[in-house]
Structure 1
Amino acid sequence: MSNLLPRNATKLEKNIEQLGEKISLIRVPFVDLHSIDRCPVLHLPWLAWEHRVEYWQPDWNEQDKRNAIRESESFNAGRGTQSSISSLIGTVVDHYQLKAWYEFNPPQKPFTFVVIVSPQYLLSIEQLLQVHTAIDATKSARDNYSISAKVKTTCDFYLTGSVTSGTKIHLESL
């Protein structure tokens, strides 16, 4: 005991003091928690939150997570620009083109853009959702966008039918 409590301290106060002493013995690497290279893997999502990493996938490997945190400072400085949108889309899809409103002939509505995924590549529904998430994480609030891509999906398709046959008889009374 630290002898900080008076002699007439209650049992609750003494227990709290003992608990505080036990907690102070736990080694917490506070300095490491804020270092991108030394932060424990389990704490990387919190470090990413601290660095404003907007697009994060829990299934990334450790190196990709650390790289995302490392690149967040320059990314946040250019947030909303075409290059920041491209860098995030590039984490999901390889063969795409980002076309701004002024690149169309005639120009489209201002502050719109289209993400055109190469037609020879099929995206899964999950990839399409990741592209949407990546764009929403970095585009400016005024921007509107669309995605032009071929999407593959699987589903169960059931076809049923029925056949009836018979003879139609009309009865008339005389």
Structure 2
Amino acid sequence: MSELHNGSALQSDIQSVSNALFAPVNTGADVVATLWSPETCPEPLLPWLAWSQGVEQWDEQWSDNTKRQVISQSYEQHKYLGTRFAITKGLQPFGFQTKIYEWFEKQPQAEPGTFSIDVSVTDKGIDNKVIEQIYTTIVQTKRKSVQFDLSVSLLGETELGFASAATSGITATVYPYYASEITSESSLCVALANQSFYQIKVYPRSSYVSASILDHADPSWSS
């Protein structure tokens, strides 16, 4: 006992032995967790998982994807059981397109408490098995007190694709640089103006004029 308290090698050996013993249990617990998921449950065990989830309609001829969808939506379908949502969800895993018209939605109005349902089959043909499957699903998901009219039709779907392409381009031509002769035409205009003014006063000699005229003459011109 003292060796265990001291953390001896014996404690490590016991731990290793216990891990080896509980390894299958731990592995089994992980496996059990996958069994309860529709995505990870092995296909042979899907019927048991469907039973545990309250799935009432089951066919081993369904594809693996259809089986898992039916199981995964079972809880949601039971949550809204008796509504048009539950009917639509019940038919959805099979690829059916559904339209429901209740009595007050029709023109003229139908008998109260009734509804009509149109189911379009797109990925398979219509035979008695398909019609029975549609009818059974509706009966299991509708309100028990209502009556309905069923119409099943074959719907073909196709995709119409359009494609267009546009191209554009620019062509550029590059020539080497060439310096050509540069000519320039211009004219030079010169204008010159000169203006001169001379004032000349001519007076007669003093011997020929009277004294009154000389009084107004410039003395520099007298002799």
Name the structure 2 match of 1:72.
74
SS in 1 for 2:150: strand
Cα RMSD for the two superposed structures: 3.2
Aligned to 2:150: 147
Whether the aligned pair in 1 keeps the contact of 2:66 and 2:93 (CA below 8 Å) is: no
Report what 1:35 is aligned to. Answer: 36
Given candidates 42, 49, 52, the residue that maps to 1:50 is 52
CA deviation digits over 1:1-52, x for unaligned, max 9? Answer: xxxxxxxxxxxxxxxxxxxxxxxxxxx8882575124433222111111111
Q: Is the 8 A contact 1:101 1:111 kept in 2?
A: yes
SS of 1:42's partner is helix
Task: Give the Cα–Cα distance (whole angstroms) in 2 for the partners of residues 148 and 63 of structure 1.
Answer: 26
1:136 paired residue among 129, 139, 161: 139
Which structure has the higher relative contact order (CA within 8 Å, separation 6+)?
1
Structure 2 Cα separation of the partners of residues 67 and 133 of structure 1: 17
Specify every segment of 5 or more residues in structure 1 that has no aligned partner in the other structure, as ranges.
1-27, 152-174
Which whole-Å CA distance do the structure 1 matches of 2:85 and 2:33 have between them? 31
| Residue in 2 that maps onto 1:10 | none
Amino acid at match of 1:35: W
Seq. identity, %: 28
The Cα of 1:111 is off from its aligned counterpart by 2.1
1:52–1:72 CA contact under 8 A, matched in 2: yes
Q: Offset of 1:128 from its aligned partner?
A: 0.9
CA contact (8 A) 1:92 1:131 kept: no
C-alpha spacing 1:63/1:73, structure 2 compared with 1 (3 Å): same
Partner of 2:126: helix, strand, or coil? strand
Q: How does 1:1-40 map to 2 (within 5 A)?
A: 31-32=32-33, 34-36=35-37, 37-40=39-42
Structure 1 CA distance for aligned equivalents of residues 44 and 71 of structure 2: 14
What residue ranges of structure 2 are gaps of 5+ in the alignment? 1-27, 155-223
Shift of 1:122: 6.8
Question: SS of the counterpart of 1:105?
Answer: coil
